[in-house]
Structure 1
Amino acid sequence: MKRHPRRSTPATLTAVVLLTGCALVAVVAIQLILGQAPWISYRTVAEALHDARWSDLIPGVAGGVAVLLGLILLVAALLPGKLTVLPLQGELNSGASRRSYRSTLRAAASTVDGVAKAKVNLKRHKASAKVSTDRTNTAGLADAVREAIERRLDQINPAVRPTVKIKVHAARSRS
C-alpha cells in the first residue's frame, strides 16, 4: 500500500527536460547523417563553449540555475509529502484514502441539524470544518458538529487522531 505520494511532478518535469534534450540531439544527428543543414551547428556550439570563461556571466548564471534546479529536485525527493493513504489502527495494515477520509467527515458534519453546507480540510494533525447554516442563532452548533465528527473518528479509528476545529458561518446576520 502506497502511503506517501510518488513525487510524480518533479519526476515528470525531469523526464520532459531530458526527453526534449535527447530529441534535439537525435534530430541534429539525423540531419547530419542525411547531409542536411542541422538546426544547431556543432561547430558553433563547440566554439561558443571553447571561448567561454568560468568568470563570464553566462556560465555563472547557467551553473547557478543548474544548482538551484538540482537543489529543488533534491528537496522534493527528500521531504515527506502529504500522506495519500491515512493509516488506521488495527492488526492489519489498513488505511483510508485522504479523499474518502475527508468526505466521510464532511458527511458526518452535514448530518447535524441546522447545517446547510460543510467543508472539511485535513492538515497533518488537524481536521478543520467550515459549516454554513441558515440559522440566526448558532449557539451550540459548533459543539454539535464537533461531536458528530469525533463520533465518526471513533468509528474510523485513525492511527493518529486529528484535533477538530470548527468554524460556523451563518448565512443570515442578526438584526
Structure 2
Amino acid sequence: MSFLIFVLVYLISGIILQTKGIEMAFYQFPAPIAASIGIVFAFILTKGSLDEKFNVFIKGCGDDNIIIMCIIYLLTRVFSAVSSAMGGVESTVKLGLTLIPVKFITAGIFIMAAFISVSTGTSVGTIVAIGSIAVQLVEKAGLNLSFSLLRSFRGLSVL
C-alpha cells in the first residue's frame, strides 16, 4: 500500500508540474519526499504498536545496524538543518568565539563533541550535529579547516 502511495504522489506531482509547463517536471519533485510520504502512510495504516512498526520497517530495509545508523544520520542532519535555519549555529559560533580563545578552538570543539557523543550515544550523530558549528568556528577563527577538524574529531572514535 505504501508503495502505491509513493507512486501516486510522485506521478500526480509530476503530472501537475507538467501541465503547468515546467521543464523536466518529474525531476522537480524529490523522490525521497514521495518515499517519506509513503512511509508515513504505512505507519498510519499498519496495525500494531509503534515499536513493532519500526522493527518491521528496519528489517524490511536491510541490515538492522546499518539502517539504524542511517536513520540516526538522517534525523541528526534534519536537526542540524533546522538549528541552522533558526540561527542556532551562528549564535553558537559567536558564543564559542567569545568564550574560547582562538588557540584552543580545536580543544573546545573536541570537548563539545565529547559531551554530545556521551549524551546521544552515537559518534555518527555527533559528527553530523556538530559539523556545521565546527566548520564555522574554525573558518571564523582563521584556522586551517582540515587540520583543525582532524585534530578535533580524532578522539571521538574512542568515546
- The structure with the largest alpha-carbon Rg is 1
Greater strand percent: which structure?
1
Note whether the superposition's TM-score is higher than 0.5. Answer: no
Greater helix percent: which structure?
2
Instruction: Provide TM-score, normalisation by structure 2.
Output: 0.30
Instruction: Provide TM-score, normalisation by structure 1.
Output: 0.28
